[in-house]
């Protein structure tokens, strides 16, 4: 189900996309795309080069205008190792033809603290079914919906995760705290926090890890403090959500 801030659901889903025509048609609503707060929107060609993007991405890359980015890949415009990893993700979508939905990611922005985003990417096909490009959005994770009737129950789950993320946390444990079934807990977490319970655990653990990586603790020690059984498990999860290994992330902090 698309989130209200995810404009991908407005794009054609049938195999009838002409990439140049799509880009031209969206130029008419470019001011609206530029006005989306906390949302990066883009369309890329089959080589993962930007054809269309909104002002949010321009600002986060510290550029003056869109022309500096058009025709380039993420690898060519993002700092450090991030660009290569983003382009690799793009090429996987383009080559495999698979969507990327609700990927929780920790993005690094020049001049600001790291921020959590939900990323969605969609391959675009022509009338013959050939992949000719892709569209994507990265939405800043919104604040919890405290007006939802189930908020107190899910907030108790969130508080428990934040307090005990260094320990093994089971789904049964969380359902007991909330007094909800597994299906109810999953549904309410998505509606209130825009995250699954598992994503909430990852967010708590990796958020703590990013703070500890700014210190001088060994990475193995950080892994244990953040609830991971070993260095390799920590590294896999950290890279899956940030695009960087823990050591690369630590290096990026030193170079900022």
DSSP notation for 88-151: HHHHHHHHH---EEEEEEEE--TTS--EEEEEEEEEEE-TTS-EEEEEEEEEEPPPP-TTSTTH
Please report the pLDDT score of residue 28 as a whole number. 92
140-151 residue pLDDT tens: 998 899 999 999
Specify which of 4-13, 100-109, 116-125 reaches the highest per-range mean pLDDT: 116-125
Count Cα atoms within 13 angstroms, Cβ side, for 157: 34
Count Cα atoms within 13 angstroms, Cβ side, for 235: 9
Residue 215 main-chain phi, psi, to 5 deg: -105, -165
Query: What CATH architecture does domain 7-140 belong to?
Result: 2-Layer Sandwich (3.30)
Domain range summary for the chain, segments of one domain joined by +: 7-140, 151-254
Mean pLDDT of the chain: 88
Q: What is the CATH number of domain 151-254?
A: 1.10.10.60
What would the mean pLDDT of 37-53 be, rounded to a whole number? 95
| CA–CA–CA angle 17, 117, 21 (5° rounding) | 15
Helix/strand/coil for 64: coil
Please report the pLDDT score of residue 102 as a whole number. 87
Predicted confidence band at 5 (pLDDT cuts at 50, 70, 90)? Answer: low
- The distance of Cα 93 from the centroid of its chain, to the nearest Å, equals 15
Predicted confidence band at 8 (pLDDT cuts at 50, 70, 90)? Answer: low
Residue 151 and residue 145 in contact, taking contact as beta carbons nearer than 8 Å: yes
Using the predicted structure, report yes or no on whether residue 4 has a pLDDT greater than 50: no
Please report the pLDDT score of residue 97 as a whole number. 94
Higher per-residue confidence, 47 vs 106? 47
For the chain, the distance separating the N- and C-terminal CA atoms, rounded to the nearest angstrom, is: 37
135-192 residue pLDDT tens: 999 999 988 999 999 999 999 999 999 999 999 999 999 999 999 999 999 999 999 9
Please report the pLDDT score of residue 14 as a whole number. 47
Distance CA 130, CA 145 (A): 40
Residue 137 and residue 40 in contact, taking contact as beta carbons nearer than 8 Å: yes
107-138 residue pLDDT tens: 766 555 668 999 999 999 998 899 999 999 99
Phi-psi region at 141: left, alpha or beta (left = phi > 0; alpha = psi -120 to 50): beta
Using the predicted structure, report yes or no on whether residue 2 has a pLDDT greater than 60: no
Helix/strand/coil for 52: strand
């Amino acid at each position: 189900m698309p989130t209200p801030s995810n404009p991908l659901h407005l794009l054609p889903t049938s195999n009838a996309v002409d990439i140049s025509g799509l880009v031209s048609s969206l130029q008419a609503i470019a001011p609206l795309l530029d006005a989306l707060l906390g949302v990066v929107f883009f369309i890329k060609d089959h080589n993962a080069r930007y054809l269309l993007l909104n002002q949010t991405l321009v600002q986060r890359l510290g550029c003056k205008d869109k022309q500096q980015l058009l025709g380039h890949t993420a690898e060519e415009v993002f700092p450090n190792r991030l660009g290569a990893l983003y382009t690799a993700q793009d090429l996987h979508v383009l080559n495999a033809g698979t969507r990327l939905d609700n990927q929780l990611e920790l993005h690094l922005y020049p001049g600001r603290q790291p921020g959590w985003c939900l990323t969605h990417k969609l391959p675009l096909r022509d009338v013959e079914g050939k992949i000719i490009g892709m569209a994507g959005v990265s939405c800043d994770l919104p604040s919890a919906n405290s007006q939802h009737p189930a908020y107190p129950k899910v907030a108790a789950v969130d508080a428990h995760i934040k307090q005990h993320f260094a320990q093994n946390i089971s789904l049964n444990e969380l359902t007991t705290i909330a007094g909800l079934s597994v299906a109810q807990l999953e549904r309410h977490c998505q509606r209130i926090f825009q995250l699954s319970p598992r994503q909430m655990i990852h967010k708590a653990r990796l958020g703590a890890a990013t703070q500890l990586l700014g210190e001088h603790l060994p990475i193995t020690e950080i892994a244990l403090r953040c609830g991971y059984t070993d260095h390799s498990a920590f590294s896999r999860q950290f890279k899956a959500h940030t695009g960087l290994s823990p050591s690369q992330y630590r290096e990026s902090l030193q170079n900022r």
